[in-house]
Amino acid sequence: MSPDSRLAHAKNSRLARVRAVATCLCALAKDTSGNALMILAFSVVPLLALVGSSIDMGRAYLVESRLQQACDAGVLGARKELGAITNFDPDVDGAAVVTKGNRFFNANFADGIYNSVDRSFEMTLEEDQSVGGTASVILPTEIMQFFGKEQIDISVNCRAELSIPNTDIMMALDVTGSMAENNPDDTAPKISVLKSVVKDFYATMEATRQPQSRIRYGFVPYSTNVNVGALLRDDWVVPQWSYPSRTLVGTSSSGGLYGYYSAVSPVSGTYYTTNSTLAATPDGAGGYTCNRPANTLTSSTALVSTATEAVRNPDGTRTTYTYNRTRNGNTYSVTLSGTTCTLSTTTFANYVDTYRYITEPSLAGGSSWLYKDVVRDTSDWRTTSNGCIEERSTYEIGDYDNVDLDQALDLDIDRVPSVGDPDTQWRPMYPAIIYERARLWNGTGSFTTAEVTTNSEFISPGTAGFAACPAAARKLQVWSQSDYDGYIDSLMAAGSTYHDIGMIWAARLLSPTGLFASENADVSAKQRTSRHLIFLTDGQTSSLDISYSSYGVEPISQRRWSPSSPMTLTETIEKRFSFVCEEVKKKNVTVWFVAFGTDLNPMMTQCAGEGHYFRASKGSELQTAFRKIAKSIGDLRLAQ
């Protein structure tokens, strides 16, 4: 039945009922048996008008309320659909948004409900990407049409917008050496792609922020270590600490020079590996072999700079030669499994890395080094250390379901250091004085906790490039776009992947009940803060026993791990990461995990939880992931 037919049918039904009432009144009017009946007859009409208006207006109020609910549901559904579309184009994607909105409206206000007719629902997309709506129906009257009011026109407005409440966002960003490499489908290094995406994230968040809301951002760039020294109070740092170093025994004169190479650091260009399978070739003896293509790699080396500095014990000059090496072409390796060969192709495209060759005075005859732990006064740490820190006291954990935070102070994200208690305080890093007894520069030798007297030169991780200290971390703060962009541009790629220290400090800087509780607390009971931790990495955990990390030189310090531990160092790092991730989620923090150019593993997915982790193999996918995070952080709400 069409709307016009339904309206006519409703009108005829009401006219029939009114005629019946009129017939009854006429009968009463002809009855002259008493004046009471006359009085009743005259009073029925206004009484009928009063009752009829109450009935019809009650129906109208019910319809209007239900119509408002349907309108709200429609625009909320449409705005949510819009938010799920990447790079929304009204001409291309508008129909999907309208369809979703109409579906929600229709589910909440069916056609013909309450005998209503001419149902209408229209939506508009505003410039700020909010969705406005207008819904209307016509409600035929039951009684009031007898008095000339045949219908009630009902119309409501609604609007849904994505707004940002008070929000704290802490980003733990992997800035390890591999971030200087390219993903196969990108033309820029991962660190450059990351910078661009994180800058766009700020712009996206600010575009939807309401004038009365506050968004703060903080950063923990991490690799082998974290640089948080500038955030610590003086009394949070030990006044002295013991470091694995050395002292000279005998004369301080030089016995000539010795030289060594530092670790290699990526600079620019593309470097990646792809795998393919090939059929193996019979070797004529009942077995199979793999044919490896000839390498096409070309390499050139250029001296970039030469620097000298005076050194003591023994006295002389240290000279550092810095070289850039450029490589192009392919290298190949093959492995055989049954009758299948796996060919690994490593492609270099203008790939530049840098390394250093260092010469310095060696010991004269009759002199030797005493390698041992040396106590250093750290009162000058603000001006003499590099800003990175060694973690406070902990223990080797065997059961991560029952961690004793009174011992594992490094995993207690809220504990404030106690003055005079070095177990609770942090220790500044001094890579230049660290020596790894008894590991030689050629990689031979075994670590030992005992003192060693020798003429040999043991590795210095600070000189060799195994003590990376990233850009300084930043507490939560309100940023301008220029300051935000300037900080992101300062990030550099170096070091190995120690996920736990990144998570530990991101959790500490975000927690509303820890070191910075007064700064991180909710603005008020009515202005709650939404807290989010975004963790991004381009690789799996990559630990090196020769690194000087936030737990010292681990085979020597043995604070959380030792070479005889039942777990590997990598497993220890991942267990601690997972524990702290769960601790920060107890603070009502939402954790997001982004794997950029690497696979997601259970440690990552379990930390973030379903719907909060992403894998991006190239820049465009990383952009999509951050946009989804931004839209999820936003608060979808009704504006009217």
Q: What are phi and psi of 493, to 5 degrees?
A: -100, 125
Residue 390 backbone zone (phi > 0: left; psi -120 to 50: alpha; other: beta):
beta
Per-residue pLDDT for 574 more than 70? yes
Structure tokens at 25: 């009144």
Chain region(s) in the chain for CATH 3.40.50.410? 170-239+386-433+460-598+606-634
472-484 pLDDT, tens digit each = 999 999 999 999 9
Per-residue pLDDT for 24 more than 80? no
Q: What is the pLDDT of residue 591?
A: 98
129-138 pLDDT, tens digit each = 789 999 999 9
> Cβ distance 86 to 75 under 8 Å?
no
Rounded CA gap, 149 and 386, in Å? 84
How many Cβ atoms are within 10 Å of 212's Cβ, its own excluded? 9
262-318 pLDDT, tens digit each = 888 888 887 788 889 989 999 888 899 999 999 999 999 999 999 999 988 888 899
Q: What is the pLDDT of residue 12?
A: 60
Q: Which of 124-133, 394-403, 625-634 has the lowest mean pLDDT?
A: 124-133
Q: What is the pLDDT of residue 271?
A: 78
Q: What is the pLDDT of residue 10?
A: 52
Strands 265-279, 389-390: pairing is unpaired
Q: What is the pLDDT of residue 42?
A: 53
Per-residue pLDDT for 29 more than 60? no
The pLDDT confidence band at residue 187, using thresholds 50, 70 and 90, is: confident
489-504 pLDDT, tens digit each = 999 999 999 999 999 9
Q: What is the pLDDT of residue 33?
A: 56
Q: What is the pLDDT of residue 19?
A: 61
Cis ω for the linkage preceding 438 (within 30 of 0)? yes
Rounded CA gap, 382 and 380, in Å? 6
Per-residue pLDDT for 82 more than 60? yes
Q: What is the pLDDT of residue 184?
A: 87
The pLDDT confidence band at residue 31, using thresholds 50, 70 and 90, is: low
Q: Determine the average pLDDT of the residues in 411-432.
A: 97
- Give the contacts of 89 (CB within 8 A, at least 6 positions apart): none
Rounded CA gap, 460 and 432, in Å? 7
Structure tokens at 155: 């119309």
How many angstroms separate the Cα of 405 from the Cα of each of 408, 504, 508? 5, 13, 14
CATH class of 170-239+386-433+460-598+606-634: alpha beta
Q: Which one is predicted more confidently, 414 or 141?
A: 414
Q: Determine the average pLDDT of the residues in 23-41.
A: 55
Rounded CA gap, 145 and 246, in Å? 103
Per-residue pLDDT for 85 more than 90? no
Which secondary-structure segment (H or E) carries 582? helix 569-585
- Residue 638 CB-density burial (10 A; 0-12 exposed, 13-18 middle, 19+ buried): middle
Per-residue pLDDT for 30 more than 80? no
Percent of the chain at pLDDT > 90 equals 67
| Dihedral (CA of 46, 52, 55, 60) sign | negative
Q: What is the pLDDT of residue 270?
A: 79
**Mean pLDDT of the chain, nearest integer:** 89
The pLDDT confidence band at residue 380, using thresholds 50, 70 and 90, is: very high
Q: What are phi and psi of 460, to 5 degrees?
A: -105, 110
* DSSP code string of 142-166: SSGGGGT--EEEEEEEEEEEEEB-S
Model confidence, pTM: 0.75
Q: What is the pLDDT of residue 92?
A: 84
The pLDDT confidence band at residue 598, using thresholds 50, 70 and 90, is: very high
Helix (H, G, I), strand (E, B) or coil at 239: coil
Rounded CA gap, 330 and 509, in Å? 44
Which secondary-structure segment (H or E) carries 4? helix 3-30
